[in-house]
Every structure is written in C-alpha cells, then in structure tokens.
Amino acid sequence: MPQDCYPSTVTVKLDPSGRWFVSILVKDPSINPLPKTGKQLGIDVGITSLITTSNEEKVANPKQFNRLYKKLRRKQKALSRKTKGSNNRYKACLEVAQVYAQIKDARTDFLHKLTTKLVRDNDLIAIEDLAIKNMVKNHKLAKSISDASWGEFNRQLEYKCEWYGKKLVKIDRYFPSSKRCGNCGHIVDKLPLDIREWECPKCGTNHDRDINASHNILAAGLALRQRGLGGFPHSLLPNPFGVSVCGASVRPEESKSRKATALKQKPKS
C-alpha cells in the first residue's frame, strides 16, 4: 500500500475457481501524469491482429482460449462423468473453473502490459466506439471477439489515460474507417471482411485494410480534438469534418463505387 494512504473500502471475494481475493480501495495522491511524448496513435482492433496502429505495427492476438481449449475440454469431459452431488464432481467443477480463471488471467495480464505501453508512449490515442455487445450476437464471430477482449482493452485504455493525463478519443462506430481510401478520400460501398487488402478504384492506391483503417481513425480523432467535440461524437454520421490522411481530406466524397478491387491473397504457409 502506498505511504500515507488509508483504505476506504476492503472487499473479500471468493471466485468460482476457489481463490480468495482481498481488494483494498485507497486514494493514491502519488499517481502523477506521465511525461509528454508529442505522439498520437490511431488503433484498429481485430481478431487475427489484436490491434493495428497508425504506426503500421500489428500486435498478434494471443488467442488465450484456443491455447487452453484442449485442456478445458478434457476437464469438462471428466466433469460430465462425475455423479451429481458427489465430492468428486465438486472437485471436477473447481478444475474446470481453474482453467477458465487461467484463461482470464492470461488475457488480463497481456492487455495490461499492452495498454500500459500504449498510454506511456502516446499523448493521444484514437479508437472506434464499437458496439461490442451487438457484435457478439453474430454466432460466427462471437467466440473470437470474446477471446480478443476488445471491451477490456478499451476499459483499460480509458482509465489509464485518465490516470496518467493522456487523451483518449472514441470515434463514432459508423465512421467508415476501413472502406475509406486514406490517400484520396474515396469511400467504397462494399468491403467484405474476407478482403484484407484492396485497391482504391479511384486513385489505384493499394491498402492493407487494417493499416488504412488505423490511419483514418487517427485523422478523425485529431479532428474531433481540434473541434473540441470530446470523445463521443455520436451525432457525426459518418464524418462531417475535414482533416488530412496522407494529404487527403477526411470528408467523404459524394461519388462512391460499388466495391473495392480485392488484391490477390498469398496462400498461407
């Protein structure tokens, strides 16, 4: 506990895996803003790459659930063979819960290390305000989205930015970050999720889908900060402001094409 801090609330909790936790709430006056770096970052979250940044860096999704799935299935099968109400079934339940706790702890630890580095290295971070609860209703993507823990990632970014004096800007979820060409501003109507690289039908620029989105997210975040609109521009549909991404206006073009030209994908090795 920090020096000269006194607990205001103490909470004792037993989790489903049989572990006891003691949470102590204190007000710590020693938390000071981090030094300014002069850097800004746009972040596009995903499934294959957990995040793609406007620095054109990709952080792989560790997929903690998949990593421990076989162990979890083995414990669940053992549980299904136990007699209800028996001590052996109780022990088997604990073993299943312990695997789930291991998955959760690994996710949380990874995200804490990642978000701390992002907040430490940047003065402003722009992300999309995604409707994650609605997105997990898609049964084909629900497991992958849940395993990626986008909600926890956003939660950690939000409170750490507040703690350490950094700015977090959330872009409207309807902003066409992926479908907009970061070079000329042209917006395509259709860009299916399976197209990871595309060519702008207007200027011919080749785009990595996620890197292009992160550039657009950063430009939109900077524009919102300049206009003093705060972090939740829900009234902006999709982007009625103009700043440049790679020298082009962010304002959507009136003319749109039906679809982008997909680049031929290299086979996975």
Would you list the DSSP string of 208-261? EHHHHHHHHHHHHHHHHHHHT--S--TT-SS-----EETTEE-SPPS--EEEPE
Looking at residue 133, its pLDDT comes to: 87
- Distance of alpha carbon 164 from alpha carbon 169, whole angstroms: 15
Which pLDDT score is estimated for 82? 94
CA distances from 59 to 29, 83, 120, 126, 155 (A): 33, 44, 17, 16, 18
Torsion of the alpha carbons at 128, 56, 184 and 233, rounded to the nearest 10: 20
Residue range 100-118, pLDDT digits in tens: 999 999 999 999 999 999 9
- Residue 172 annotated to the active site: no
105 included as an active-site residue: no
Q: What pLDDT score was predicted for residue 260?
A: 57
pLDDT value of position 229: 54
Where in the chain are the domains?
A: 40-168, 172-264
Active site includes 152? no
- The stretches in the chain having pLDDT less than 50 are 230-258, 264-269
pTM score, whole prediction = 0.79
Q: How are beta strands 40-45 and 49-53 bridged, if at all?
A: antiparallel
Quote the pLDDT of residue 262: 55
Whether the upstream peptide bond of residue 176 has omega within 30° of 0, thus cis, is no
Catalytically annotated residue among 147, 172, 197, 210: 210
Residue 122 is given by DSSP the state -
pLDDT of residue 45: 95
Per annotation, catalytic residue among 109, 128, 172, 254? 128
